[in-house]
Amino acid sequence: MVKKLFKHEFDAYIRTIIPMHLVLLGVAIMGRFVQLFENESDAYKIVFGSSIAAYVITAIVCLVLTTFFCIKRFYSNLFSSEGYLSFTLPVTSSQHIMVKSIVAVLAQIASLVMIFLCTCVLTLGDVCVELFKAGGYLTNVFFDVYGIHATFFTIEFIVTLVLSLAASTMIFYACIAIGQRAKKNRVACAIGVYFIYYFIYQVIGTMCIVLVTVFYDAWNIKALMQYLSNNPIVSNHLYFGFMFVLSAVLYTIGFIITKRTMDKKLNLE
C-alpha cells in the first residue's frame, strides 16, 4: 500500500512541477537564443540583461513554488476534505507523513537539478564546456588539498543537505498540524505558528552568540576558536556534524508534533 501511496504522490507532483520545469527550460532556451545575436549595441545589452534576469527570477519562482506545492499538497491531502479519503486507506499516520516528506524532498532536489540543467542550456556551447572544466579543476584542487577528507566532506554535505530539506519540510508540516487545531482561519493560524517558531529559533541563536561573547575567555572559547581556525578539517567535520544533529532534532520534533496531531487531534473540514 505504501508503494501505491508513493505512486500517487509522484503523479500529483509530476502534474504540477513538470509544467513549471518546462517554463524554466523555455526561458533558458530563449536566453541562449538571444546570445546568438551578440554585439556591442546597447539594445543587445538590455535584451541580454533582461533574459538573464528573467531566467534568475524564473528559477527562484520554480524553487519557491515547489516548496509551496509540497506544503499545499500535505495540507489538502490530509487536512481538507480529501483527508476523509486519505485516512480510510490502510496506512498509518507515520507512513503518510514519511511518504509525503520523502516525495517533497525528492521534488525539491528535482527542481535544483532542473535549474542546474537549464543553466547548462543557458550557457550551451563553449561557455558551458569551460564552466565544466573550471568545476572539474576546482574539484581536483579540493581533493588535492583535503585528500581522503574531501570524500567525507562530500558525503556529509549531501546527507546534511537532504536532511536539512527534510527538516524544513517537516517543520512546515508541524506548523500546519498545529494550525489545523484552530476552529477558524486554520491556514492563517499555521502561518502564525511558523512565524513564532522562526522567532524562537532566532532568539535561541542570538542568545547562544551572546553567551559565547560574554564567556569568551572564561569558558576557553578563545582557545577552542584558535584550535578550529588552525585545523580546518576538524572544524568542517564538526560543522557538518552539528548541522546534521540540528536537522535531525528539528525533523524529529516536527514529526512527533505532526503525528500526535494526526492521531489525537485530527479535525477535518
Of the pair 32, 259, the CB lying nearest another protein is at: 32
Letters for 139-158 (x = contact with another protein by CB under 8 A, - = none) are --x--xx-------------
Cell output for 28: 533558458
Of the pair 47, 221, the CB lying nearest another protein is at: 47
What does the H/E/C string look like for 34-80? HHHHCCCCHHHHHHHHHHHHHHHHHHHHHHHHHHHHHHHHHHHHHCC
- Smallest distance, another protein to C-beta of residue 148, A: 18
**DSSP letter for each residue of 240-265:** HHHHHHHHHHHHHHHHHHHHHHHHH-
Letters for 18-47 (x = contact with another protein by CB under 8 A, - = none) are --------------xx-xx-x---------
Of the pair 137, 219, the CB lying nearest another protein is at: 137
Count of residues binding another protein (CB under 8 A)? 19
- Smallest distance, another protein to C-beta of residue 32, A: 5
Pick one of 133, 222, 260, 265: the residue that binds another protein (CB under 8 A). 133
Of the pair 139, 206, the CB lying nearest another protein is at: 139
Query: Cβ distance 118 to 30 under 8 Å?
Result: no
- Smallest distance, another protein to C-beta of residue 227, A: 17
Question: Scanning residues 107 to 126, which ones bind another protein (CB under 8 A)?
Answer: 124-126
- Smallest distance, another protein to C-beta of residue 135, A: 9
Query: Cβ distance 232 to 150 under 8 Å?
Result: no
124: left (phi over 0), alpha (psi -120 to 50) or beta: beta
Q: How far apart are alpha carbons 131 and 183 in whole angstroms?
A: 54
Amino acid at residue number 13: Y
- Smallest distance, another protein to C-beta of residue 233, A: 16
Tell which residue, 198, 194, 152, has the closest CA to residue 174. Answer: 194
Question: Scanning residues 193 to 252, which ones bind another protein (CB under 8 A)?
Answer: none
Of the pair 106, 233, the CB lying nearest another protein is at: 233
CA 91, 95, 97, 98 dihedral sign is negative
Q: How far apart are alpha carbons 249 and 257 in whole angstroms?
A: 12
Of the pair 22, 200, the CB lying nearest another protein is at: 22
Pick one of 22, 46, 64, 138: the residue that binds another protein (CB under 8 A). 138
Pick one of 134, 196, 208, 268: the residue that binds another protein (CB under 8 A). 134
Of the pair 125, 147, the CB lying nearest another protein is at: 125
**DSSP letter for each residue of 84-151:** HHHTTSS--HHHHHHHHHHHHHHHHHHHHHHHHHHHHHHTTTHHHHHHHHHHHHHHHHHHHHHTHHHH
Residues that bind another protein (CB under 8 A): 32-33, 35-36, 38, 124-127, 130-131, 133-134, 136-138, 141, 144-145
